[in-house]
Chain A
C-alpha cells in the first residue's frame, strides 16, 4: 500500500516532479469554467472545482484527430496510399478526474475495444493513461452517479483516488498503474487512521447530497419496440434544438465521422466527433434518411443510452450520471426525467 497524505502544495510540487514521466492533465480555471489541460501549459491546477464543462473524453479520444496521411502527387510512387499518422502514446495521467468521468471512459472502452475489433488509437491511449481521481465533496444538484452504478467517491474505474481533506489530500493507490504513479511522487507521509476516517465521513456526506435517482431497474425488461413506439417522444423532443451540446459534452458519447481533407498535394484522413442529433449523421447517398425528423434523433439518443446499450452490453446504462447534459441543455431536457419515463413505461 502506498496510500499517503500530502499537503496541498506538496502534492502539486510532486506532480510537477513527474513531468518527465507523464504528460499530466489537470483541471484549470478557464474563463468561467474549468477544463482539463496539460500541466505543462503554465496554468495552475485548481482542484477546488465542481466539474469541468467538457468531459475529459478528448484526452483519450480527441475531437478531431488525423488518422492517415497520403500524397496526391502523381510523381510520388506512393501516391494515394494511406500511411498511419504518427502519434504520441507515451504515458499520461489525468489527475483530479471525477469518478463519473472515469466511469465514462470505461463505458466508451466497451465500444472501442471489443472481441471483434479493437480501435488501435483508443486502445493504446486508454492503456497508457493513469486516472487519478478526486472524490466529490460537494456534488451538484444535477449529479446522479449513484443511480447508475457509481458514487462521488467510487473507486472502481480509477487507478488512484485523491480525497480533499481541507488542508491536505489523502491519496489511495487502487491499481498497479496507480501505485506506479504514486511510487514516483515525492513527498507525502503514510496515511494515518484519522485521514481514512475523515475521508469516510466526507464520502458519506457527499452521497447523501445526491438526491436525484432516476430508476433504471426495468429498462432491461422493457420491449425495445414498445419503448421505440412510446407516445412521449414527440413531447420529449418538442423543445430540442438539435444543437448537439449534450452529445459533445457527454463523457460516454463515442460517435464519430471520418473525413478526408486535402491541402495542395497532401491529404489527411481525419476522425471527428459526430452527433446523432444532426440529420447528416444518417443521410444516405440516395437522399433517404432513416432519422430525418428531430424526434427520431432525440429518441435515438435516449434509446441508445438507456435501452440499446443496456441490451447489448448487459452492464448498466450508457450514462455516468455526470449531469452535464442536464446542466447545459439550452431547453432543459433532462435525461433523468426521460430515464424515469422509459423505465416506468407501461405499454397499452
Chain B
C-alpha cells in the first residue's frame, strides 16, 4: 500500500532571495532518487508539503512548471517555525517534499480561451508556474490572448523580476506590472492597486477565463471589477490558502463546508465558493 505521508527526499539545489525585505526566497529542489521526479508529476496550480526533519511540514504552491525538468521549485514567505528554519537552510541540505497535492487550474476548460491572470504579492507562485507552462512553445497555441496583471507593494517586493522583464519583451503575452507606490524615478511600469489596474487593462470577458490569486483584500476588490467586465462566476477561478497538516483530506482542519481545501481545492471557481460557507 502506497503511504501518502512519506516525503520524497530532495536536496536544496539553489536558493534565490526574491524580495528586498529578504522574506521571500525561492528554493529549487532536486530529487535524491532521480526516479522520484517522474512520480512527482504535477500540474500548475497544485501544491506540496515541504518537509523539514525536526521541524515539520508546510503546504506551499508549486512555483516551477512541469515543462521545467530536473527540479521543482517553491517560493516561501518567512512567517512561522518551519519557514523560518527553511530560510536559514543552505544549498546542499537534504529535506523532503510530499505531493503533488490538490487540484489545479482548469486547463481543459482554459484551452481555446483568452486567459486573464490577476496576481498580487507573494501569491504569484502558482501563477508563475502557469505562465511558464502556457508560454512553452508546444502549449502556447492551445491558449488565445494571455493577459497578466501582477502587483506588489513596491518594485523590490515583486517576485521573479528577471522573468517579468523578459515577459514584458514578448508579444505573445500582455504584461501589466504594477506597484502600490514607489519613489523610484526609473520605474517604468504602472503605479496603482491591482484591482484599479485590472479595471484599466482588462478590456473584455469574451471567451475569457480569469485566474485570481492574491491577498484577501485584493481578491475582494478584484472580484467586482471582473464581474462588471462580464466574467460569470464560473469563469473566475481562485486559489485558496488554509492551515493544513496531512494534505490528503484526512486531518480535518482545512475544510470549508464539506470541501477540503487540500483535496477538493485549493482551486475553486467563484461559482463554487458562492455555494460554500464563507469561512476562509
Contacts and interface: CB of A to CB of B under 8 A. Distances in A.
B56 to A, nearest CB: 5
Contacts of A196: none
Contacts of B93: 80
Interface residues of B, number: 48
B38 interface: no
Interface in B76-113: 77, 79-80, 83, 93-96
Contact of A274 (B32, B94, B248, B252): B252
A267 B51 CA distance: 13
A112 B246 CA distance: 11
B203 interface: no
Interface string A211-236: 00000000000001100100000000
Nearest to A304: B255
B277 A257 contact: no
Contacts of A256: 245-246, 250-252
A117 B250 contact: yes
Interface stretch (B2-10, B137-145, B182-190): B2-10
B277 A224 contact: yes
Contacts of A197: none
Contacts of A111: 250, 252
A72 B256 CA distance: 37
A119 B250 contact: yes
Interface string B219-255: 0000000000000000000000111011011111111
Interface string A307-332: 11101100000000000000000000
B94 A81 contact: yes
B255 A260 contact: no
A187 B53 CA distance: 53
Chain A binding surface SS class: mixed
B280 A290 contact: yes
A312 B258 contact: yes
A260 B245 contact: no
B34 interface: no
B70 interface: no
Interface stretch (A35-43, A51-59, A97-105, A281-289): A281-289
A132 interface: no
Contacts of A5: none
Contacts of B251: 255-258, 274
Contact of A80 (B79, B94, B258, B276): B94
Q: Size range of the interface on A?
A: 35 or more
A154 interface: no
Interface string B1-33: 111111101000000000000000000000010
B279 interface: yes
A175 interface: no
A117 B4 contact: yes
B54 A258 contact: no
Contact of A225 (B77, B243, B275): B275
Contact of A82 (B6, B83, B250, B275): B6
A120 interface: yes
B94 A258 contact: no
Q: Kindly name the residue among B2, B251, B263, B275 whose own CB sees the greatest number of chain A CB atoms within 10 A.
A: B251
A237 to B, nearest CB: 15
Interface in A79-121: 79-82, 84, 111-112, 114, 116-120
Nearest to B96: A82
A243 interface: no
B54 A267 contact: yes
A285 B80 contact: yes
A342 B7 CA distance: 41
A258 B79 contact: no
Contacts of B248: 116-117
A282 B242 contact: yes
A240 interface: no
A13 interface: no
B257 interface: yes
B55 interface: yes
Nearest 4 CB-CB pairings of A with B = A255-B252, A308-B258, A285-B79, A228-B277
5 contacts: A68-B6, A82-B9, A260-B56, A282-B254, A285-B58
Interface of A: 67-68, 70, 72, 79-82, 84, 111-112, 114, 116-120, 123-124, 224-225, 228, 254-260, 262, 267, 269, 274, 276, 281-286, 288, 290-291, 296, 300, 303-304, 307-309, 311-312
